[in-house]
Structure 1
Amino acid sequence: MSAYKGAVVVGVDGSDVSKAAVAYAAKTAAGRGIGLHIVMAYSAPTAMFSEGMVPPHQLVEHFEKEAEPVVQDAMKIARETEPELKITGAVAEGNPAQLLIEYSREAKIVVLGTRGLGALKGVVLGSVSAHVATNAFCPVIVTKADTADNVHSDGPVVVGVDGSDNSVRATEWAFSEAKARGAHLLAVHTWIDPEVQAAAAGIILSEDDLKRLSDEQRGMLEDALGNIKERYPEVEVDTLVTEDRATRILVEKSKEAQLVVVGSHGRGTFTGMLLGSTSRSLLQASYAPVMVVRPAAAGCEDE
Structure 2
Amino acid sequence: MAKPVVVGVDGSSTALRAVRWAMEEARRRGAALRIVHAVEPPALRFTGGFAESAGIVTKLRAEGERVVAEAAEVAGALPRVTTVIPAAAAPNALLAESATAQLVVLGATGHHAFPALLVGAVPAVVVAHAHCAVAVVRGVEQAASAPVVMGIDGGPYSTAVIAAAFEEAARRDVRLIAVHSWSDADLERFAGPARPYFGWEPVAEAERRLLAENLVGWQEKYPDVAVDRVAVRDRPRHLLLEWSKKAQLVVVGKRGRGGFAGLLLGSTSQALISHAHSPVLVVHRLR
Corresponding residue for residue 269 of structure 1: none
- Alpha carbons of structure 1 residues 177 and 68: separation in structure 2 relative to 1, 3 Å: same
Task: Provide Cα deviations, 1:83-102, integer angstroms capped at 9, x if missing partner.
Answer: 24421111111011011111
Corresponding residue for residue 110 of structure 1: 104
SS, match of residue 92 in structure 1: coil
Q: CA deviation at 1:228?
A: 2.8
Moved more, 98-107 or 223-232: 223-232
Corresponding residue for residue 42 of structure 1: 39
Matching of residues 1-303 of structure 1 within 5 Å:
6-48=3-45, 58-79=55-76, 83-117=77-111, 122=113, 126-144=120-138, 146-147=139-140, 149-150=141-142, 152-193=143-184, 196=187, 200=191, 210-265=200-255, 275-295=265-285
SS, match of residue 230 in structure 2: strand
The residue identity in structure 1 corresponding to 2:26 is A
TM superposition score normalised by structure 2: 0.85
Q: CA deviation at 1:56?
A: 6.1
Q: CA deviation at 1:225?
A: 1.1
Task: Provide Cα deviations, 1:25-81, integer angstroms capped at 9, x if missing partner.
Answer: 11111111211111100111113489xx897655433322110011011011112xx
Q: Is the 8 A contact 1:26 1:85 kept in 2?
A: no
Matched residues, percent identical?
36
- Alpha carbons of structure 1 residues 97 and 186: separation in structure 2 relative to 1, 3 Å: same
Tell me, which stretches of 5 or more residues in structure 1 are unaligned?
A: 267-271
User: How far apart in 2 are the matches of 1:210 and 1:287?
Assistant: 31
SS, match of residue 238 in structure 2: helix
TM superposition score normalised by structure 1: 0.81
User: How far apart in 2 are the matches of 1:56 and 1:197?
Assistant: 58
Q: Is the 8 A contact 1:195 1:205 kept in 2?
A: no
User: How far apart in 2 are the matches of 1:57 and 1:204?
Assistant: 67
The residue identity in structure 2 corresponding to 1:108 is Q
The residue identity in structure 2 corresponding to 1:237 is V
SS, match of residue 165 in structure 1: coil
User: How far apart in 2 are the matches of 1:222 and 1:55?
Assistant: 63
- Alpha carbons of structure 1 residues 54 and 133: separation in structure 2 relative to 1, 3 Å: farther
Cα RMSD (Å)? 3.2
Task: Provide Cα deviations, 1:129-178, integer angstroms capped at 9, x if missing partner.
Answer: 0100111111110113x43x33x531111111000121221121111111
The residue identity in structure 1 corresponding to 2:70 is D
SS, match of residue 19 in structure 1: helix
Moved more, 94-103 or 57-66: 57-66
Q: CA deviation at 1:227?
A: 2.8
- Alpha carbons of structure 1 residues 157 and 78: separation in structure 2 relative to 1, 3 Å: same
- Alpha carbons of structure 1 residues 47 and 167: separation in structure 2 relative to 1, 3 Å: farther
Q: How many residue pairs get matched?
A: 278
- Alpha carbons of structure 1 residues 123 and 25: separation in structure 2 relative to 1, 3 Å: farther
Tell me, which stretches of 5 or more residues in structure 2 are unaligned?
A: 257-261
User: How far apart in 1 are the matches of 2:234 and 2:168?
Assistant: 26
